[in-house]
A and B are shown apart, each in its own frame.
Chain A
């Protein structure tokens, strides 16, 4: 049986991430529509590039706030472990790609691959922890 207990910090974190991801999608869609009409230059270009970065930074801040506010130290420990798995995975992938380039590979990697790969790996690690920490029926 899965343990569905969620702390206040966990609920706040999930709501915060949902809002930030929704904002990210809306900003991207808005910018895509805008860029279909004209090509921005100068400050406008920088502003358009910076805007979708804001919710991404907000997600990272939300992770930091969760780790600060989570009172259940075991859950906090599992989150830190998941983040470390994500970081280790992304650094390994980046190093591998760097070596490919050094050895003459000329292909390209899509933008944001690292960030997406990081969250996929964190999610996989969290799922693994959830599976291996299933609690038996309460006595």
Chain B
């Protein structure tokens, strides 16, 4: 799954640590999501979407045929 987390975060001038604090997760988790190493659960995806004021589909995109 691809995501625009890094771009959206940069637009708001947030560091990974800032986002991690807002999401109440570790920076390791934010980095793992941004690099596509880990796909968040639906509740966390909703939390991220709400934080950025976007829908889940605007942040996360399915990778065609890869997963």
**Contact A74–B38 (Cβ < 8 Å):** yes
Residue A101 CB within 8 A of the other chain: no
CB-defined contacts of A3 to chain B, threshold 8 Å: 26-28, 31
CB-defined contacts of A73 to chain B, threshold 8 Å: 25, 29, 40-41, 44
Give the bracket for the number of chain A residues in contact with chain B: 10 to 19
Binding site for A on B (CB under 8 A): 10, 15-17, 20, 24-29, 31-33, 37-38, 40-41, 44
CA distance A74 to B40 in the complex (A): 8
CA distance A138 to B28 in the complex (A): 11
**Contact A139–B26 (Cβ < 8 Å):** no
CB < 8 Å neighbour of B32 from A133, A136, A138: A133
A66 to chain B, nearest CB (A): 14
Q: Mark A118-139, 1 if CB is under 8 A from B, else 0.
A: 0000000000000001011011
On whether A72 and B27 interact (CB within 8 A), knowing A135-B16, A138-B15, A139-B16, the answer reads no
Q: Closest chain A residue to B19 by CB distance?
A: A138
A6 to chain B, nearest CB (A): 8
CB-defined contacts of B31 to chain A, threshold 8 Å: 3, 133, 135-136
**Contact A138–B29 (Cβ < 8 Å):** no
On whether A138 and B27 interact (CB within 8 A), knowing A5-B20, A74-B32, A133-B32, the answer reads yes
CB-defined contacts of A136 to chain B, threshold 8 Å: 31
